[in-house]
Amino acid sequence: MPQNLQSLIFETTTNSYRAVEPIGEGGAGRVYKVADDDGRYLALKLLHKGSTLQRRRFRNEIAFCSKNSSPNIVAVLDHGFIQSGREKSPFYVMPLYAGTLRRLIEAGLSHDAVLPFFSQILDGVEAAHLQGIVHRDLKPENVLYDSSAKRLVVADFGIAQFTEEALYTAVETKAQERLANFVYAAPEQRARGREVSARADVYALGLILNEMFTREVLQGTGHKQIASVAPQHAYVDGLVERMVRQSPNERPSSLAEIKRELISRGNEFVSQQKLSQLKGTIIPESEVENPIADNPIRAVGVDYGAGGVLVFELNRVPPPQWIQAFTALRQYSAIVGNEPHRFRFEGTRAITSVRRDDIGLMQIVANHFKNYVQSTNEEYSRDLVESQRRNIEAEKKALREQIEQAESLQRMRAAVKEIKL
């Protein structure tokens, strides 16, 4: 590899990148600050040596981050290879970030800023989990900070556990390989042959959450409690305690469970996420999956059937709830006998009887039917949004009540201990 930075040029099919200065280095790679053809400063991660397994992981990291849509996971903007003698070393390009979570912790986060920032980390890691990917190396150094957007971004998926569904190549971890920084590694990552699941990330996140408040890494008993530095956030101690339990089965089963507890405490900035079945991307749980929005129901044909019926052909089979909304329309213009509730649906067909063979009358019925369909599309979409809003509010209320009941019981038990027998 050229030693003179000015001569170190990384080229891809669409751009070239000139190395400006090294900004980080690991066991098998280096990160450079680079300038592209337009003079923009970016970061470039180079795998300058490595085994076949390391190169496969690097390729998997590029594939995942290139297609990822979460704003809290680092984006791969470009990638390629650089030739050095007989060796071709892969690299990828990503945005240049001002710093890391480590620097924020060392500078001292305000207590009120901790949970909003932590919720962003949860979003990034959860987006990976929802796609079947476990990070396995979470630590403050691997969480980057975008100072302009005040956003934290999860990076370094190089040793992540990918599923075959997520990528073409499954990554298998050899028993003797030590993957994670042991300071943040879950107990099951320290032993050979143990299964490492998403709950290993839960463990690391528990350590990180505690450290964001206390500026110390939790180790053993008698560690600094969040309550001692941020009394208004004392309830987080109980959450951290569950996240860092020795047994994976005793930790929260998912990041959604952690989010639900934070939401129940009034942290409205915490948002639930889900994997969109329509788009294949991570979206907020509050976003309605509306199959009608991108592909509205439309009338695409009409025919006359035996027995004096008009048969309208739809572009696809409407959902049952759409049919219910159609037959229950409240405002419409109609010819008597051809109101919305008079139609019956069979697959992609909507059928209504006509009283006489009158083409002019049939045209009016057709015009009304098109209006019914458009009105139903709009009403169906509004109902979906309103139903989703009610469900979310009901869940938040139930969570708050659950927490209040648990705390009330805890206070009563503490009071009862003062009773003398």
Q: What is the architecture, at CATH level 2, of domain 99-284?
A: Orthogonal Bundle (1.10)
The secondary structure of 353-414 as a DSSP string is E-SS--HHHHHHHHHHHHHHHHHHHHHHHHHHHHHHHHHHHHHHHHHHHHHHHHHHHHHHHH
Domain covering 5-95 in this structure, CATH number: 3.30.200.20
pLDDT of residue 408: 81
The pairing of beta strand 78-84 with beta strand 29-35: unpaired
pLDDT of residue 175: 42
pLDDT in tens, the chain (421 residues): 445 666 789 999 999 999 999 988 866 678 999 999 999 999 999 987 767 778 888 888 998 998 888 999 999 999 999 987 778 889 999 999 989 999 999 999 999 999 999 999 999 999 999 988 999 999 999 999 999 999 999 998 877 676 543 333 333 344 444 444 578 999 998 877 788 899 999 999 999 999 999 999 998 777 899 999 999 999 999 999 999 999 999 999 999 999 999 988 888 888 888 777 666 677 677 777 777 877 899 999 999 988 889 999 999 999 999 999 999 998 999 999 999 999 999 999 999 998 777 899 999 999 999 999 999 999 998 888 888 788 878 877 887 787 788 778 878 887 888 888 7
pLDDT of residue 179: 45
Read off the tokens for 343.
């139609």
Residue 221 DSSP SS3: coil
Euclidean distance between CA atoms 85 and 107, whole angstroms: 43
pLDDT of residue 273: 84
- Do 5-95 and 99-284 show the same overall fold? no
DSSP H stretches of helix in 219-345: 226-229, 235-243, 255-264, 291-294, 320-327
Does residue 98 contact residue 147 with C-beta atoms inside 8 Å? yes
Residue 412's Cβ-side half-sphere holds a number of Cα atoms within 13 Å equal to: 6
pLDDT of residue 162: 63
Question: Residues of 250-284 as b/e, b for ≥16 C-beta within 10 angstroms?
Answer: ebbeebbebbbbbbbbeeeebebbeeeeeeeebbe
Read off the tokens for 372.
């019914």
353: Cβ contacts below 8 Å, ≥ 6 apart? 307, 308, 309, 310, 337, 338, 342
pLDDT of residue 173: 44
Domain layout of the chain by residue ranges:
5-95, 99-284, 293-380
pLDDT of residue 127: 93
Does residue 129 contact residue 68 with C-beta atoms inside 8 Å? no
pLDDT of residue 172: 39
pLDDT of residue 54: 81
Distance of CA 273 to the CA centre of its chain: 5
Euclidean distance between CA atoms 308 and 357, whole angstroms: 8
**Residues across the chain:** 421
Does residue 181 contact residue 137 with C-beta atoms inside 8 Å? yes
Read off the tokens for 4.
């003179």
The 3-state secondary structure of 131-144 reads CCCECCCCCHHHEE
Which residues face 100 on adjacent strands?
144
Closest to 202 (Cα-Cα) out of 163, 248, 157, 168:
248
183: Cβ contacts below 8 Å, ≥ 6 apart? 139, 207, 217
Q: Note if the pTM is more than 0.75.
A: no
> Sign (positive/negative) of CA torsion 261, 68, 199, 150?
negative
Read off the tokens for 218.
């939790």
Residue 114's Cβ-side half-sphere holds a number of Cα atoms within 13 Å equal to: 25
